[in-house]
Structure 1
Amino acid sequence: MRKISISRITLLLAIFLIACTSPGNLRLEQALQWAGDNRDELEKVLTHYADTPEKLAAARFLIMNMPYHFSQEEYFISSKGEKYRPDISKFCDNKAVESHCNSLTRYGYRINREKVYDISSLDCNFLIDNIELAFEVWQKPWAKNISFDDFCKYILPYRAQTEMPSNLRKEMKERFVPILDSAKVQTPLEACCVLNEHLKGIMKYGHTGLPFYPTIDETYHSGISQCEGLCNLGTFIMRACGIPVTVEQTTWTKMDLGHSWCVVLDNGKFYSFGPGEDQPDIHARSFSEVRHRRPAKVYRSRFDPDFSIMDRKDDGYVTTLKSPLIYDVTNEYLDKTTSIKVSVDKNNRKKGKSNQVYLCTYNHYEWCPIAIGHRKDTVCYFENVVGDNIFIVADSPDGSKLRNITTPFYTDKDGNIRKFIPLKEHKQTFTLNKRKKKPDQVHTLYFWDTEKDRFTPLEYVSSTDTTQTYDQIPANALLWFTIPERIVNQRIFFIENDSIKTY
């Protein structure tokens, strides 16, 4: 899952006090001030729509919210300062792209990354074209009943996440709207299903070989990207056709990394789908029915920030969870959520400067925060979490890094807690299977040592080509069996009734 950059969070926090208290006119003026030299371009848009109130309101909506959005621009740069980004559509496969990128590095090219903020870079022609095209498709049968508020939030925006703005909206409209016209669809959900079925033939999940964040144009012309690129393109195409869509995301709790997908709004309800993949009628069920895909928390992206979620007594720790551009929608999915109440360990009861606490899951070699809760005295509280997962709770007394304040614990579907406090005086014997494709690599079993607040290795007593046996495993311990190679899904687990419970 993409993480919002520190600079972006810093910007949002810096303008929080201004934006959260400013009515529309003041927010618009503040945005124009942020535009700097680009102010004239934005004022041209407002002047252009001075006599068309509805389009003027749409233009104001975009401009007021542009300060919170940017493009993540990435490219190779030569020793002479020449910019270059490979056209992946001209390569036979991702291996060829990867080989080409590696050769560039050998010849002295380096990767340059910069953030280009919308408020200071988008011109009047781009914004006017975007507004006109959005209003045209709003008149379509499947879109005409969408409220102006929902139109502004889910059809009008020109971006989904941090992709570079694309000029393909007109081309998308002209290519895909006729498909919906001929299908005679009448609702956003029907339109989404018809169009998404068509997208299955032109886009698919895969690695591009580029070490860059994907652009709309790259994904469109190559037809290949990972979940973020597919979501960005899928959202762009759907909006270009008058279908109200946005992106959702999760950090996995039973797998490493995370995932993004889309939702379509129909008659006040959102329906999840995978762009070019799962349709709305099966997408949410596929999450619920497959154990390792059940998200513990789900967050929906929004173009207009909600500053009410920001805590004035913030501890200063920077995390995407504090972004006013996402909000918690876990309750909208099929698995029942629960409340978690867990006590702070005795040796960590010294409170930081804030009552903010973080629910963390072990994901790709570290404890990653997936939810923000609050602490009252010595108890931490979290709402709307899907159970049957292992977590740890942290706080941030200095605002720069997290400090674990509980032991790892398992919570069941009803919120009942089982803490993993190793019983070092009670030893277990257990034989573990090595990874099938990597039996020759060194395998190490670790247990979470609550006294040291880290995973501590154990010595095995015997080893074969396929197994390793240990006889000093502390009872009630959280375990981790790994190889040195940094790969995904070396998951934590515990032993119960002589069987492994993996998370």
Structure 2
Amino acid sequence: MLLLFMSCRRDVALERALTLAGDNRQELEYVLQHYKDDSLKLAAARFLIENMSYHFYEEEFYALPSGERYRPRLTDFPTEEAGKAHLDSLARAGCMAERHRYRDIRTLDGAFLVRNIDLAFEAWRKPWAKQVPFSVFCQYILPYRISHEYPSGLRKEMMDKFTPLLDSAGVSTPLEACSLLNARLGTLMKYKKNSLPFYPTIEETYAWGGARCEGLCDLGLFVMRAVGIPVAMDKTLWTRIDWGHNWGAVWQDGRFHCFAPREQLPGEYLPVLNGRGYLRPGKVYRSHFGLCSVPSGEESADDGYAIWLKSPLLEDVSPEYLERPVDVRVATDRIREFAYTSGQVYLCVYNYYRWEPVAMGCRTDTVCLFRQVGGDNIFIVADSPSVGQLRFLTAPFHVDAHGHIRKFIPRMDRTRAFMFPKRKRLLKRPHTLHYWDVESASFSPLEYNSTADSTQSYTDIPENALLWFTVPDRIVNQRVFYLENDSVITMNLIR
């Protein structure tokens, strides 16, 4: 009976995917028909098709006045400055950047999928891959994409180029293969900034020999899957510095081992994350090709707020990375004032000029709960009363390594003086000190008492306030902090 039930669920998932394919349905049915006499490849094809509706890519280009589409090639610009100059010339000519999103289920053709499946099975026969279970193969070797990059046709080329390296070395496990190949990738690509406002394709990163962390991760993991190494992409939104980061994790014997594509080998990257205080993550998520949770809104209550954390392809793997994760329990400050409240709440960190959700939790009455979080961080809790908006339910607070909460509710009746150093390379720019006003739920500026060449002094700083000392320029890592005795306490220090 259980097998019959599971079979029915799989049939429902497949038919749902085929229905969503619309005019592309015949391409997917071609794939299923192609493998009708090969039960294992048919199962692999079904896995891809059933999960394709959750994947997408964007076609990005400049629309020329003539109506043509133009995408600059990274290899045409030797420096970032040269690329910026070219983009400026396009803007002056009236060229506009456009993005068109496409769902895999509606656009990928059957020949592309068949070629990908056959190549994946060929790689699966290699000594380092042949002990990988079918379920692991489907998630971490079979997929044709890593994240949301434009679908690549380089799988065969990458397989032919890098498989001989592993064959000649006689590697026999995914870990050995990953370590050897990652060391080779370090000689072929490096971290590079480019001026194009587009997400890089696999082809572009490979031809240019570099990208930012997302592009490097996409290419590095794509190459590893092409040769039969089971790898996943792990990601975080930084809590102690701005922006976020992606890296790799290789599967072996039921466990994942993290590494940084082209940089740290398996076993080397985790000490880097835990050893450098500013890199210590607050949460870590693993991206899968197939579902690992119920999609938001399908079988669970959802407030409609759009956030990457709600992807049903993400798995919370924070315990694999955090030495002593804590459960954050924090009482709301203003919940009874609001006409609408949701049980779905977000743990947010101040990242590049705004509060960004880093974890999802639940609210019961006035208590919000978030599981398995990295301590010694500053957060704020929000819900979303209307689509696209966050509303703050608490004052900002610090969570220590044991889960204890300290809320930053300014004492306007008690103030103190402090002298702040200006940013060294921005001494001539005006600096402003802000404190978080819990009533307006925003940062409010404070008047300085005096300013000098390299310092700025204040005398009316509210006690127990979360502070932010900034310049008008939008620059990275203008971090929030608080004052403790005579020290500035920020979360990006090694602690």
Q: Give the alignment's TM-score, normalised by structure 1.
A: 0.94
> What is the rounded CA distance, in whole Å, between the counterparts of 1:321 and 1:298 in structure 2?
11
Worse-superposed segment, 474-483 or 276-285: 276-285
CA distances 1:200-259 after superposition (whole Å, capped 9, x unpaired):
001111112211011000001111100110111011100001001111111111111111
**Given the alignment of the two structures, is residue 410 of structure 1 paired with residue 404 of structure 2, yes or no?**
no
Q: In the alignment, is the contact (CA less than 8 A) between 1:348 and 1:405 conserved in 2?
A: no
- Indicate the SS of the match to 1:46: helix
Letter in 2 for 1:312: S
Alignment partner for residue 433 of structure 2, among 438, 442, 445?
Answer: 445
1:349: how far off? 5.2
Worse-superposed segment, 23-32 or 437-446: 23-32
1:33: how far off? 1.5
> What is the rounded CA distance, in whole Å, between the counterparts of 2:338 and 2:478 in structure 1?
33
**Given the alignment of the two structures, is residue 358 of structure 1 paired with residue 346 of structure 2, yes or no?**
yes
Alignment partner for residue 93 of structure 2, among 80, 85, 107?
Answer: 107
- Indicate the SS of the match to 1:281: coil
> What is the rounded CA distance, in whole Å, between the counterparts of 1:177 and 1:65 in structure 2?
28
Q: 5+ residue gaps in structure 1?
A: 1-19
> What is the rounded CA distance, in whole Å, between the counterparts of 2:7 and 2:357 in structure 1?
29
**Given the alignment of the two structures, is residue 167 of structure 1 paired with residue 153 of structure 2, yes or no?**
yes
Equivalent residues in 2 for 1:412-491, closer than 5 Å:
412-491=400-479
Letter in 1 for 2:351: N
Q: In the alignment, is the contact (CA less than 8 A) between 1:338 and 1:414 conserved in 2?
A: yes
Letter in 2 for 1:492: V
Worse-superposed segment, 93-102 or 267-276: 93-102
> What is the rounded CA distance, in whole Å, between the counterparts of 2:302 and 2:103 in structure 1?
25
- Indicate the SS of the match to 1:23: helix
Q: In the alignment, is the contact (CA less than 8 A) between 1:219 and 1:230 conserved in 2?
A: yes
**Given the alignment of the two structures, is residue 335 of structure 1 paired with residue 323 of structure 2, yes or no?**
yes
**Given the alignment of the two structures, is residue 378 of structure 1 paired with residue 366 of structure 2, yes or no?**
yes
> What is the rounded CA distance, in whole Å, between the counterparts of 2:335 and 2:344 in structure 1?
18
Could you say which residue in structure 2 is the equivalent of 1:143? 129
Equivalent residues in 2 for 1:45-444, closer than 5 Å:
45-308=31-294, 310=296, 312-346=300-334, 348=336, 350=338, 352-444=340-432
- Indicate the SS of the match to 2:225: helix
Q: In the alignment, is the contact (CA less than 8 A) between 2:225 and 2:231 conserved in 1?
A: yes
Alignment partner for residue 35 of structure 1, among 18, 21, 35?
Answer: 21
> What is the rounded CA distance, in whole Å, between the counterparts of 2:21 and 2:412 in structure 1?
61
- Indicate the SS of the match to 2:426: coil
> What is the rounded CA distance, in whole Å, between the counterparts of 2:395 and 2:424 in structure 1?
31
Q: In the alignment, is the contact (CA less than 8 A) between 2:322 and 2:374 conserved in 1?
A: no
- Indicate the SS of the match to 2:235: strand
- Identity fraction in percent: 52
1:141: how far off? 0.6
Q: In the alignment, is the contact (CA less than 8 A) between 1:284 and 1:334 conserved in 2?
A: no
- Indicate the SS of the match to 1:429: strand
- Indicate the SS of the match to 2:294: helix
- Indicate the SS of the match to 1:262: strand
> What is the rounded CA distance, in whole Å, between the counterparts of 1:397 and 1:339 in structure 2?
25
Worse-superposed segment, 171-180 or 99-108: 99-108
Letter in 1 for 2:18: L
1:322: how far off? 1.0
Q: In the alignment, is the contact (CA less than 8 A) between 1:252 and 1:259 conserved in 2?
A: yes
CA distances 1:138-177 after superposition (whole Å, capped 9, x unpaired):
0111000000000000000000111011111000000001
Q: In the alignment, is the contact (CA less than 8 A) between 1:71 and 1:117 conserved in 2?
A: yes
1:397: how far off? 2.1
> What is the rounded CA distance, in whole Å, between the counterparts of 1:286 and 1:87 in structure 2?
34
- Indicate the SS of the match to 1:261: strand
1:68: how far off? 1.1
> What is the rounded CA distance, in whole Å, between the counterparts of 2:107 and 2:146 in structure 1?
17
> What is the rounded CA distance, in whole Å, between the counterparts of 1:71 and 1:293 in structure 2?
29
> What is the rounded CA distance, in whole Å, between the counterparts of 2:235 and 2:490 in structure 1?
23
Q: In the alignment, is the contact (CA less than 8 A) between 2:341 and 2:383 conserved in 1?
A: no
1:27: how far off? 1.2
Letter in 1 for 2:414: H
Letter in 2 for 1:277: E
> What is the rounded CA distance, in whole Å, between the counterparts of 1:242 and 1:74 in structure 2?
30
1:316: how far off? 1.6
- Indicate the SS of the match to 2:47: helix
> What is the rounded CA distance, in whole Å, between the counterparts of 1:75 and 1:252 in structure 2?
30
Worse-superposed segment, 439-448 or 81-90: 81-90
- Compared CA separation, residues 318 and 418, structure 1 to 2 (3 A): same
Q: 5+ residue gaps in structure 2?
A: 1-5
Letter in 2 for 1:361: V
Q: In the alignment, is the contact (CA less than 8 A) between 2:335 and 2:366 conserved in 1?
A: no
Aligned residues: 484
CA distances 1:298-328 after superposition (whole Å, capped 9, x unpaired):
1110111234374622112111111101111
